[in-house]
A and B are shown apart, each in its own frame.
Chain A
Amino acid sequence: MTFSSYDFVKVERHGPVGWLINNRPDQLNAMNNGMRDEFERAWKELDADTDVRVIVHTGEGRAFQTGVDVAEIASDGVGMERYRESMENFDLRFTSWHNRVWKPVITAVNGLCAGGAFHWVADADIVLAASDAQFFDPHVSVGQVVSIEAIGLMRKMPVEAVMRMALVGRHERMSAQRAYELGMVSQVVDPPERLRDEAQALAEKIAQNSPAAMAATKRALWGALELGLTDACKQGAAELVSMWGHPDQTEGPLAFTEKRAANWAEMTGTGHEDDAADTDTDT
């Protein structure tokens, strides 16, 4: 399967790994209107491709991403108003979580990660960072509120660190090392040039696992962030039971015994529509 063409991102496949690469390096990968629309298309295309088992998201140049393109906001006469409807309805489409991608998603932070860039840190399953990556959230320093991306982060790491980043704004940066200590990222890659190799290697490990089991696991774990503990366990139990009888549950132990790679059932991102309802996102 070949991918359609894009102006502001690159979409590639290397073996079982789909790559989504922010590609406005001269603008530090800031998201303009066109890029925002391409994100939705790219996630859906990667999700629908059965050859793609795992998705890695990174950026070209010295920044991973730096939020919304403020130059466009300031100059086009529409400004933030362009986002009003999608924000008021909370109907965003630029991350994998927004688009209900149930394949594993790795964000590989290759440099500056500022402001709105945290959407893709918060909404990824796994986050890697180059050793020279830097994190900060300048929203309040330019009179903007930070909410969605910080709220997502707060569910996944110590809250005080998120609050500090949100309130100190552009006057302080967090290192990759501190992000690692706090559990915001799980791996620091040094030297930084090795980031894509390490991300590919990790993705290939993950690609050896059962796609169906990973999708149900993702639904259980992300769904848990919506609920109190007991309700989350009940919903998790339903995801767990949903796999019983699935061919992968026979194939997995068999392949293990026969010391061969498992031949997993094919799965596309469209599966399990009824289960995906537990994300409760507006449609």
Chain B
Amino acid sequence: MTYETLVVERRGAVGWLIFDRPASANAMDATMLGELAEAWRELDADPEVRVIVNTGNGRAFQTGVDVVQMSRDRGAMREQSRRTRDATLELTAWHNRVWKPVICAVNGVCAGGGLHFVTDADIVIAASDATFLDPHVSVGQVSAYEVVGLAAKMPVEAVLRMALVGRHERITAQRAYELGMISQIVDPPDTLRDEAQALAEKIAQNSPAAMAATKRALWGALELGLTDACKQGAAELVSMWGHPDQTEGPLAFTDRRTPDWTPITGAGPASSGEGRP
């Protein structure tokens, strides 16, 4: 399917979801907000796609909701306002319950609502010149979803500082790496996509079913206390016992060949797909 505000493409086993409004710093207008859910679902449903990379075209990675459109045409954003209020957002992989591994490759500035995609990715890498900021409070908006999610994943002081200092300060890629917000800095910046593809190809060699169950266990753990999270994780673990990949994995390792994993689609075990409220 074709998109107006996104580029969706495949390179081998890797699906790419690329923000494509470079003239607007990839800000999300109403069209992009609608297309994001479509794109995640398309990539999730394609069994050829084992891993998904999310990045942006142009100088910015993503700068949140398009305030220009919001100020000119409030009606266009009505659907999004409703989803925000009802906590039924469909912007990110996590919102759309994508259980394939998702790599966020931050190619430039990541501001405000752009942080949704950092928070909700499994793995985050960034170009050495990428920066992070959350200007919500500088324009009279509350910052909630993105920073609540980040606070569950990294040192909290850094998140509170970013949320409260607003547009008056930026986190560098280097500091994001030190804080464990990202796991890799790519330098020079123009090799970001090559590095993301290489990382995704490594991950694509692992069992899709095992990775999906691992994702459900780990994301689900953020919902619960430690012991309850472990109990839920144990259920995900046991759910794979008897799966063909568990015989194929050790066999391929012994035979020194690439494993022939059972493909999965995004449909997944629906009963387990309760990692988010």
Give A contacts to B, CB under 8 Å.
70, 74, 80-81, 84, 87-88, 90, 139-148, 150-152, 154-155, 157-164, 166-169, 171-172, 181-183, 222, 225-227, 279-281
Contacts and interface: CB of A to CB of B under 8 A. Distances in A.
B180 A227 contact: no
A160 B249 contact: no
B221 interface: yes
A102 to B, nearest CB: 16
Q: B interface, by DSSP: helix, strand, loop or mixed?
A: helix
A225 B221 CA distance: 11
A151 B226 contact: yes
Given A151-B217, A151-B230, A74 B250 contact: yes
Contact of A160 (B101, B124, B250): B124
Contacts of A148: 230, 233-234, 237
A104 B272 CA distance: 36
B214 A160 contact: no
Contacts of A151: 217-218, 221, 226, 229-230, 233
Q: A interface, by DSSP: helix, strand, loop or mixed?
A: helix
Residue among B152, B205, B259 having the largest count of chain A Cβ atoms under 10 Å: B205
Interface in B252-271: 253, 259, 261
Interface string B155-178: 100000000000000000000001
B153 A140 contact: no
A140 B261 CA distance: 11
B37 interface: no
A145 B250 contact: no
Residue among A143, A158, A161, A168 having the largest count of chain B Cβ atoms under 10 Å: A143
A159 B152 contact: yes
B211 A167 contact: yes
State which size class the interface on B falls in: 35 or more
Interface of B: 101, 121-124, 152-155, 178-183, 199, 202-203, 205-207, 209-211, 213-215, 217-218, 221-222, 225-231, 233-241, 243, 245-250, 253, 259, 261
A169 B218 contact: no
Contacts of A280: 225, 227-228
B220 to A, nearest CB: 9
A181 B203 contact: no
A131 B121 CA distance: 30
Contacts of B253: 141-142
A142 B181 contact: no
B206 A141 contact: yes
Contacts of A163: 122-123, 218
Given A151-B230, A164-B122, A280-B227, A143 B241 contact: no
Contacts of B180: 157-161, 181-183
26 contacts: A84-B238, A139-B210, A140-B206, A140-B214, A141-B207, A142-B207, A143-B240, A143-B249, A144-B240, A146-B214, A147-B221, A151-B226, A154-B218, A154-B221, A155-B226, A159-B152, A159-B153, A160-B154, A160-B180, A167-B122, A168-B123, A168-B199, A183-B180, A225-B225, A226-B226, A281-B227
Contact of B240 (A145, A152, A183): A145
